[in-house]
């Protein structure tokens, strides 16, 4: 997907023995989770006496060097890759969140669609809420309870009812690491075992990067506390597992596992289901790299249409790229993808993508394929039409900007100038996961929001 939906963040936490350089393991995890946020990155580390923090704008490669890591000693550390959360996208809001006391640090993946409850609570305690985003407001609530004498575990229990939304949190004090997940588990969070400690991360691919052995997912509504006594679990609220199915469709890395299923295999299955639903006579099937590659392979395998790479991706263009002059900017898709004429010329092409958001990129993709000589362009999407915005940690546009919310499939096909356009059915998507439908949040496709979005519901028009 190049008509990009942004995932809100990736988080990592490490607790080891006193000789461990935890910040270096966290850094490896952040490298693995770069796809979940490219706006900024940060690490907080504790040596048992003080928490030190470093954050910076840009990619992981831009934010850290040897000198930085040497300034973050300690056996406990948390890390955060950020896409912008509610409340602003300036460097002021980089994470982990800390304050002048350096007694607590917090990293957040997810989104609170409503922060009214938090704001009212903090205002009642005479704590400023000006220019504070959802993550910072959660930190402020925890900080308040700790300042009143609560342990960090009790502070989490007391503040938890104020967190009205989606959150996976890593929280650290000078001597403890805590991982918390909201009661619906809409965003993923997993626990791994290190040789002399533990690691938590948004995805299992970060665990395997440092050879941590995957133990299990953090349960929805669970708080995991890791300290010198080991790991213990506290179930704060009832588990109501509703993992966002879009993690399978697009966001998670293919080598991660969710709900016990390898993401790569699920995406292949999405392609196989597409092949059952759309039998197209074509010469070649190509993916929009990289996220649609497994689905295209699955489609090719099930349909018998040969697979090839029709686009070559420039992997070094990121959000931090300095935008060029207008004439080049208008052709930004061509900057990211270059079509291979020898694969496409004179061919009937099936092009697989994982989703369509606004439709503008899909049109540019079709134009690129035609300019490279494709005789026919059949576009297949390995998920149903996105008709509703997300309030749970995905940076979706307003509903009016989601093309499928106000145009039919045929109207979208006409707009993007494809010879054929097909979306995977909702039933086909669920079947491809091999997981029960009731374990998923499918709000982007159905408009059903399992976790109450409160006053934001007025923004939704049922289609």
- Residue 289 tokens, joined: 């790299």
Strand pairing report for 376-381 and 348-353: parallel
Which helix or strand (DSSP H or E) is residue 449 part of? none
Q: Provide DSSP, 44-79.
A: EEE-SS-EEEEEEES-HHHH--HHHHHTS-SSEEEE
The alpha carbon of residue 38 and the mean position of all alpha carbons in its chain are separated, in whole angstroms, by: 11
Lookup result for tokens 């002021």: 92
How many other C-beta atoms are found inside a 10 Å radius of the C-beta of residue 307? 20
Q: Provide DSSP, 20-32.
A: --HHHHHHHHHHH
Q: Provide DSSP, 116-182.
A: HHHHHHHHHTT---TT--HHHHHHHHHHHHHHTT--HHHHHHHHGGG--SEEEEEEE-SS-EEEEE-
Q: Rounded distance, CA 463 to CA 454, Å?
A: 19
Q: Which of 9, 168, 205, 444 is catalytic?
A: 9
Distances 168 to 106, 109, 193 between C-alpha atoms, Å: 10, 5, 19
How many other C-beta atoms are found inside a 10 Å radius of the C-beta of residue 69? 17
Q: Rounded distance, CA 258 to CA 433, Å?
A: 10
H, E, C per residue of 386-435? CCCCCCCCEECCCHHHCHHHCCCHHHHHHHHCCCEEEECCHHHHHHHHCC
Lookup result for tokens 């070649």: 284
Is residue 9 part of the annotated active site? The answer reads: yes
Are 262 and 205 in contact by the 8 Å Cβ rule? The answer is no
CA nearest to 253, candidates 81, 378, 94: 81
The CA-to-CA distance between both ends of the chain, in Å, stands at 23
Strand pairing report for 76-82 and 9-15: antiparallel
- Residue 66 tokens, joined: 């040897």
**Beta partners for residue 414, in sequence order:** none
Active site residues: 9
């Amino acid at each position: 997907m190049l008509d990009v939906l942004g995932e809100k963040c990736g988080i990592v936490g490490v607790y080891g023995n006193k000789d461990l350089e935890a910040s270096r393991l966290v850094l490896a995890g952040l490298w693995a989770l770069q796809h979940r946020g490219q706006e900024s990155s940060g690490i907080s580390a504790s040596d048992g006496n003080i928490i030190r923090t470093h954050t910076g704008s840009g990619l992981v490669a831009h934010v850290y060097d040897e000198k930085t890591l040497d300034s973050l000693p300690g056996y406990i550390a948390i890390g955060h890759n950020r896409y912008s959360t509610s409340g602003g996208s300036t460097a002021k809001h980089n994470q982990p969140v800390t304050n002048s006391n350096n007694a607590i640090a917090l990293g957040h993946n997810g989104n609170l669609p409503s922060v009214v409850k938090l704001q009212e609570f903090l205002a009642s305690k005479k704590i400023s809420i000006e220019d504070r985003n959802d993550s910072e407001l959660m930190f402020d609530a925890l900080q308040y309870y700790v300042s009143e004498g609560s342990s960090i575990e009790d502070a989490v229990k007391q503040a938890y009812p104020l967190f009205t939304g989606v959150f996976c949190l890593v929280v650290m004090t000078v001597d403890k690491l805590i991982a918390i997940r909201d009661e619906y588990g809409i965003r993923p969070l997993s626990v791994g075992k290190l040789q002399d400690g533990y690691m938590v991360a948004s995805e299992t691919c970060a665990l395997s990067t440092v050879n941590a052995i995957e133990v299990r997912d953090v349960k929805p509504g669970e708080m995991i506390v890791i300290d010198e006594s080991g790991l213990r679990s506290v179930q704060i609220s009832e588990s109501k597992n509703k993992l966002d199915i879009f993690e399978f469709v697009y966001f998670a890395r293919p080598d991660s596992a969710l709900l016990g299923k390898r993401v790569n295999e699920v995406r292949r299955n999405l392609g196989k289901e597409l092949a059952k639903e759309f039998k197209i006579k074509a010469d070649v099937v190509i993916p929009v790299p990289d996220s649609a590659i497994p689905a295209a392979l699955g489609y090719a395998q099930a349909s018998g249409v040969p697979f090839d790479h029709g686009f070559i991706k420039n992997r070094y263009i990121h959000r931090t790229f300095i935008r060029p002059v207008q004439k080049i900017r208008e052709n930004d898709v061509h900057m990211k993808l270059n079509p291979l004429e020898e694969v496409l010329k004179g061919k009937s092409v099936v092009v697989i993508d994982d989703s369509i958001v606004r439709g503008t990129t899909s049109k540019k993709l079709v134009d690129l394929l035609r300019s490279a000589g494709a005789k026919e362009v059949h576009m297949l999407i390995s998920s149903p039409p996105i008709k509703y915005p997300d309030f749970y940690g995905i940076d979706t546009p307003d509903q009016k900007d989601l093309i499928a919310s106000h145009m039919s499939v045929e109207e979208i096909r006409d707009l993007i100038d494809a010879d054929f356009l097909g979306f995977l059915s909702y039933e086909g998507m669920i079947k491809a996961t091999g997981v029960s439908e009731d374990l998923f949040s499918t709000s982007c496709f159905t408009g059903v929001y399992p976790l109450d979005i409160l006053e934001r519901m007025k923004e939704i028009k049922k289609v």
